[in-house]
Structure 1
Amino acid sequence: MSDFLSKFSGDKYTELLETDQKNPENESKELEKNSVMSASSEDEAHQIPTVIPAVDTDENGLSSQSVNLETPEEAPVRYDRAKKRRDDFHEEVEIDPTYQKKKKRKLVILVASASLAILVIAFSAYHFTHVTLPNFVGKSITEVREWGNQHQVTIDLTQKYSTKYDANFIISQKTKAGKKIAKGSQLGVVSSLGADPEEVLKLPDFSKMTYSQAVKWVEKNKAENLKVSQEFNETIKKGEFIKLDIANSVPASEYTRGTKATLTYSRGAEVLEANISVPDFNGKQKSEVESWAKTNGIEVTYVEKASSTIATGLVMGQSVAVNEKVAKKSKMEITVSAGKGVTVPDFSQITMSQASSVSGLTVIVRQVYGDKPYGQLISQSQPAGTELTEKDNRNVEVVYSAGTPYIRDLTGKNEGELQQYFYEEFRSKGAEIYFSSYYVNSDQPKGTVIKQSAKETWLPLNYTVNVGISNGAWYTGAPVPTPSTDKSTSDSGETQTAD
């Protein structure tokens, strides 16, 4: 009975109503079953009250239960009344069959929206705290550091030598490109120090290589200190090897990448076009010519010439005509005024006494013994007709002939005068004439010349004169020395003994 009453309680009563709507036949069967049960226990029903739940619905359609004690005769009537009230309830309340589906759909939408919001928040947080790593291989260190500063990533730099990558360019990175890394983290990269300068390079035979082949070899081997240059050459063909110069005379077998060297190849013969017009430099300053020559690569030789009409430093002539076309490296001569000058005369037409008085010149007159007659000109240091300017040395040495050497009588001269006499009289004038002296007993004062092997006569250009000198032994009041003690000397430093 309690099971039967429980059907009319709470939610089960609502489910019962829904079931009755869907299957009205079930309700009829249930009623018949209940009638049979009531008939079979009819005898007991007259004596024992039957408990029939009374189900009432309030104005909101909710059920309320009450328990009444009824006799068996009153039970069918009560049941009919309850059934009638249920039928009335079915007519008044409309139940939405899609309610549960809508409820589930709303729940699904709510859960999905919440999950999506969580995902968006998580994605945004991840996006703002992580960054995609680019491929830095082959990029410069500067680019990597700028990227690190921009994305708050610390760059952990390691360096090593490499022939594949130039200095300060990235060789590798520890984290693979395309991956996400957190901001504030570290990125390890390896950069190049360039090629190892201490590595020994095996130099090829450059004499068998062309210029272009040598350049490619240098680039391939990163030999940055080996400079390949070209120069014009009149004999070696263009592109061919000329020379290899290694600094500090390092042998080619010991050449390292860090050693400086120069490899020179020929440009061939330089072809110069005559396309430079020569200006009129007459009356212009020498400095203008120098500037023009330097700009156009013209080799200019300057000749200074005295002039009484053109000021010093102004051009007074040029070897190439005005407006003539010349090529680079052409040569020309420019004559520049040296101001007023003096012309060197022909001293063969001037006597020795007149030579020293030539105006504008400092004339130094010398005499030399020789084969020419006395007074004849032998030489002059500046040729006749030469114009000497204010910038020139105006000293002119003129040499005249002193004729044949002649020796005078030296008797009575003092021994100390002989060296000067023989030098000034003979050797200073080109004659190799010397004297040799010896001592003799004499009543003349000591050192007096009393004898000479040649006197008052002409001498050859090479000659030695013997001169006797008094030793003063017989001079008044002086003792007479023994002959063995008498000695003589010469201007050549010789000592002789007299008889």
Structure 2
Amino acid sequence: MNEKKDFLSSLADELDTKNEGAAKDDFEIYHASSKSAAELRNFKDQDYDFAENSVQPKTAPKPTSMGGASATPKATATPTPKQAPKPTPQSAGSLRDGKKSPHSFQQEELKKIDKKPFKLDPKILIAGIIGLIAIIGLVWFFFFAPKIPMPDFVGKTINDVGAWAKQNNIETAGIIINKEYSLEYDKDVIISQDQKAGSKIKNDTALTFVASKGADPDEVIAFPDLMNMTYSEIKDWIDTNKLQKTKINTQYNTLVEKDLVINYDLKTGTESNFTRGSTLTINISKGPAPAGTVAIENFVGKTYAELEQWANSKKILLEKTEAYSDTVETGKIISQNIKVGESLEEGGKLGVVVSKGKAVKIPNLVGYTKEMLDVWAATPENKVTIVKKERYNSAPEGTVIGQSLAAGTQVDQGTVLELTISLYMPQLETNSRAWYGKDYLELIKWVDDANGKGASLAAGAWAGEVCSDEYKTPGQIIEYSCLDASGNQLPYGANGCARPMPIDGKISMKVSTGSCYVSKKFKYDSSTQDLSMFKALCSANGVTISMAEDSALSGSEYNVYRSNGEAIVTGTELTEGMSIVIKTAPQPPVSPAP
């Protein structure tokens, strides 16, 4: 309640201040007048809610209950405000312009303020239009106008077009190059272009060029009388007609004058239908060879020995290369690197290829059986030296499973060819008791030998070591069985060893530690055992006794010896079956009874 009273008092003071000193705002169209400050103060002791166009007294709040108990406050009378009198000119407050304003918030006085119309200067309008046009022009120039100058590619190559396109970021997908035959332009030279040289283009402009395919190879050319033409005339004829496969060879010749034709060789077509693409070789004379040079002869088909004899007489060096030939015999010349009729200075080198005869062509022998291999090796053109090595393999016994020379290799006759032959799978036994009673080291050696031939076997006394009265010698095999790589018992045979073993199989053995029988034993102790007690122990434990006298002893003394004479001392262990000799002092003669 106090907050609203303070608000009305503040508003009244503010209105008095404004009425006294505020200046008129030229741009304010509407002014609102309110109750005078005095009237506002008359209502400051009452509470009001402000609704649209009216002032209503606020309803007193309903009582509320606190903590579950009903509390009823004393009734208070709500003051009823008096009806405000209609505003009069005398009681109206002052507006900022000095005029009187209504006393109520419910009334307003409206006044229209006329403004001068806005006029645009024509010069400014023209300048703005010109500036806008300039901006549009700059945008078009920098972002849309073609800027790349178009060169003149006529007479240049396709590669020149490609380099230019790459340099200027031209999209090559838009470049089309059509080709046509041309006698005027060489192959891949530009004949025409669709964009005029000097014009400007963009990097995505479509470009079309026409390039030359060269002269038409199928065009028929008049064949001249070559035998009556000179070297220069023939060269002009070739150049003018752009003959593609016509060549001139020159060579020394003592019979034909220099620059005249010795002969020619038309390899394709005939003289009547000679075309630009026909193959023609023309041999022209260089005249006699000068002094200090040697005219090369034809040595193809001759023996190398004949060539060596000629080369020595002409002071010519030879470079020999050997090659296989199905048509040229061994030792004869297949080809030479200097043509017949050409010259070579003395001391120069002549290269020739000499035949090694027919090569032995190695096929893929893997998979050949013994019979197939024998047939191949017996063929005369397959004269190689075969060396065999045997390996365990799943392939049938005698099958070739590897070769040292790759299939397709050509070798000289007599070359060593190493072949790997299958032994099939390892065979441990040929009878069911083959290894019983043998020393286990013998079986270990058999495994080592098998592994040396490609197997991957393993063996050991994995079944343990026990005594055996049947196999009394320690290390003898009592039992054995064959397992697969995972240690599982093989399913065939009594113990899985009766058939070929897998390459990676295992052999488990049980080995004897000796006889299970324990013989009787006792120790000799001269300090505690008198002669009669010692004899009784020997008799009870199976020790054989022999008696002998020793003059060095006297009284009840005795000594014990092995049968070989070795002395037995206190602490020696005597076992069943042992033979000993007991020596005692000489006994006095027994007197006869009276």
Which category of TM-score, normalised to the shorter sequence, fits these structures? 0.3 to 0.5
